[in-house]
Amino acid sequence: MTDRLILGQTLAFAGDPFLEGPGVARHETQSGVLIQDGRITALGDGASLRARHPQVEVTDHGAGLILPGFVDAHAHYPQTAIIASWGKRLIDWLNTYTFPEEARFSDPAYAAGIADCYLDLLLSNGTTTVASYGTIHPESVDAFFAAAQARGLRALAGKTCMDRDTAPAYLRDTAQSAHDDSKALLTRWHGVDRLSYIITPRFSPTSTPEQLDALGRLWADHPDCLMQTHLSEQTDEIAWVRSLYPQARDYLDTYEAHGLLGPNGLYGHAIHLTPREIDRLAETGAAVVHCPTSNSFIGSGLFDMGLRARLRVGLATDTGGGSSFSMLRTMAAAYEIAQLRGTALHPAELLWLATGGSAAALRLGDRIGRLALGYEADLVVLDLASTPAIAQAQARADDIWQAVFPTIMMGDDRAISQVYVAGHPVKP
Ligand code: GUN
Ligand code: ZN
């Protein structure tokens, strides 16, 4: 593997800025990141690193800001083609747009084409790790992992399980086949290269209690795997859950009763939680995922970032309920939603959510999401003046936070100057 020194500005978080304040981030200009065997092996003054390692290939990004690659903690790659579909709320949106599109993934060639397109879109937006849902078809997960493996990505995914007659007949598995297909995929892919399998019941409305039980058993057999699902996204959905599971105390209880609540659980949206649900999530050490563009696009509600005090919180696009592939746009949406709730998230907090925070939600906080020694060298380099509008806004910045905030709020794939996956540059 090529050893490489990349030069630019760096922003490295020694801890969590929500807990320790923005001062926990160290900003350096004329800095360097040394990469050997796909990992970060030195960080520091660029000129000194260059002098100490004369043999390595050097790429100078000038004033470009080197950050950890973005980590998208919840997405549906099979919904790539239906992103930005007009005019529906969650349940109608699923029935009108999502389910017919997901049916197409029984065709491995179609799945492979979308997986390639999706992962290239993510990389062009600076995202180097994603936790994605597949469809009910095992082929959809094989296609995703094959595409991620070919790109050398650290990536996570699982077969979406749905066996209840609330889902269309053309898109249903069974309790047994969901268990067996998930187990076969887990055996084939979990821990292979940089890939991880996630046990994935879509959400309790589309599973029978028998299927939730079967997946709960699978998780108990493989507790090191993550389990991802949806929780309390829209009020109509919560009422629906109540009618389908009349004996449950609340939405979270429909998972807990079937062995689907635990420290490796990842619950998407989590907007309309009761105090009991928040207590249980905190007691069990589960993580929730904020999907801000989706929550406004499908009209779901305003996530409470105050949950950060008690829970690990990841940040995610939730494409195609989310309206963007970009974690920059997603940070901007998180900022706007927090503003509507009366809080201004600091740029350090936004960048942390999109990197180390999401990595921690995925239980990968010791490997990705930080510029730190020994971490995997998945990196993004931002051009902080990528458009005339952004350039003029950041021209009078007094510090790095003022300099980066216009890119967070207005940046898109034009702001992504380079992306490194395990130390390899992705752009020519
Ligand atoms: N709830 C169940 N399935 C989905 C999905 O595909 N997208 C979103 N946003 N919410 C869901
Ligand atoms: Zn989702």
Ligand nearest to the backbone CA of 322: 1
For residue 275, report the distance from its CA to the centre of ligand 2, in Å.
Answer: 23
Please report the pLDDT score of residue 80 as a whole number: 98
pTM of the model: 0.98
**If you average pLDDT over residues 39-56, what whole number do you get?**
97
Q: For residues 291 and 355, give the distance between their C-alpha atoms in angstroms, rounded to a whole number.
A: 15
Out of 72, 77, 94, 269, mutate this one to test ligand 1's pocket (max ligand atoms within 8 Å of CB): namely 94
Looking at residue 321, what is its pLDDT?
A: 98
Nearest ligand, CA 166: 1
ipTM over 0.90: yes
Q: Where are the chain's structural domains? A: 4-69+369-425, 70-361
CA of 325 to the centre of ligand 2 (A): 13
Q: Which atom of ligand 1 is nearest to the CA of 268?
A: 10
Q: Given 3.90.1150.10, 3.40.50.300, 2.30.40.10, 3.60.15.10, which CATH number is that of 4-69+369-425?
A: 2.30.40.10
* The pLDDT of residue 371: 98
pLDDT of 1: 63
Give the number of the atom of ligand 1 that is nearest the alpha carbon of residue 322: 9
- Rounded mean pLDDT of 312-322? 98
- Checking if the pLDDT of 49 tops 80, the result is yes
Over residues 168-205, the pLDDT tens digits come to: 999 999 999 999 999 999 999 999 999 999 999 999 99
Instruction: Give residue 2 CA to ligand 2 midpoint distance, Å.
Output: 38
Task: Tell me what the mean pLDDT of segment 255-277 comes to.
Answer: 98
pLDDT, mean of residues 291-298 = 98
Selection from 235, 242, 218, 245 nearest residue 269 by Cα:
235
Minimum-distance ligand 1 atom for the alpha carbon of 98: 6
pLDDT for 237 beyond 90: yes
CA of 4 to the centre of ligand 1 (A): 41
Give the ligand whose atoms come closest to the C-alpha of residue 206: 1
Average pLDDT over residues 1-17: 94
Residue 428 predicted with pLDDT over 90: no
Number of the ligand closest to the Cα of 300: 1
Compute, in angstroms, the gap from residue 76 CA to the centroid of ligand 2. 6
Closest-lying ligand 1 atom to the alpha carbon of residue 76: 6
Span from the CA of 378 to the centroid of ligand 2 (angstroms): 24
The number of the ligand 1 atom at minimal distance from the alpha carbon of 291 is 9
pLDDT of residue 87: 95
89, pLDDT greater than 80? yes
Q: What is the pLDDT of residues 208-226, one digit of tens each?
A: 999 999 999 999 999 999 9
Which residue, 387, 394, 385, 307, is CA-closest to 353? 307
The answer to whether residue 2 scores a pLDDT higher than 90 is no
With a Cβ cut-off of 6 Å, ligand 1 is lined by 76, 90, 94, 98, 202-203, 230, 233, 294, 298, 318, 321
pLDDT value of residue 137 = 98
18 C-alpha vs ligand 2 centroid, how far in Å? 25
pLDDT of the residue at 118: 98
Ligand 1, atom 8: closest residue by C-alpha: 321
Rounded Cα gap, residues 354 and 249, in angstroms: 33
- Contacts for 252 with CB less than 8 Å, ≥ 6 apart: 231, 232, 261, 267, 273, 276, 277, 280, 281
Cβ within 8 Å of residue 196, ≥6 positions away:
155, 156, 189, 190, 225, 226
Share of the chain above pLDDT 90, in %: 99
Which of 85, 91, 98 is the best mutation target for the ligand 1 pocket, counting ligand atoms within 8 Å of the beta carbon and taking the most?
98
What does the alpha-carbon distance between residue 357 and residue 367 come to, in Å, rounded to a whole number? 12
Q: Which of 79, 83, 90 has most ligand 1 atoms within 8 Å of its beta carbon, as the pocket-test mutant?
A: 90
Mutate to test the pocket of ligand 1, among 203, 293, 300, 319 (most ligand atoms within 8 A of CB): 203
At 53-65, the pLDDT tens digits run 999 999 999 999 9
Nearest CA to ligand 1 atom 9: 321
CATH classification of 70-361, choosing from 3.20.20.140, 3.50.50.60, 3.40.309.10, 2.160.10.10?
3.20.20.140
Count CB atoms within 10 A of the CB of residue 187. Answer: 12
346-380 pLDDT, tens digit per residue, is 999 999 999 999 999 999 999 999 999 999 999 99
Give, using CA atoms, the residue closest to atom 7 of ligand 1. 321
pLDDT of 91 above 70: yes
List the one residue out of 399, 423, 394, 100 whose CA is nearest residue 415.
394
Q: Judge whether 184 and 158 are in contact, CB under 8 Å.
A: no
Average pLDDT on 69-78 reads 99
Residue nearest to atom 11 of ligand 1 (CA): 230
Question: From the alpha carbon of 233, which atom of ligand 1 is closest?
Answer: 10
DSSP 40-61: EEEEEEHHHHHHH-TTSEEEEE
Q: What is the 209 CA–ligand 1 centroid distance (Å)?
A: 19
Q: Which residue in 297, 268, 296, 130 sits closest to 201, CA to CA?
A: 268
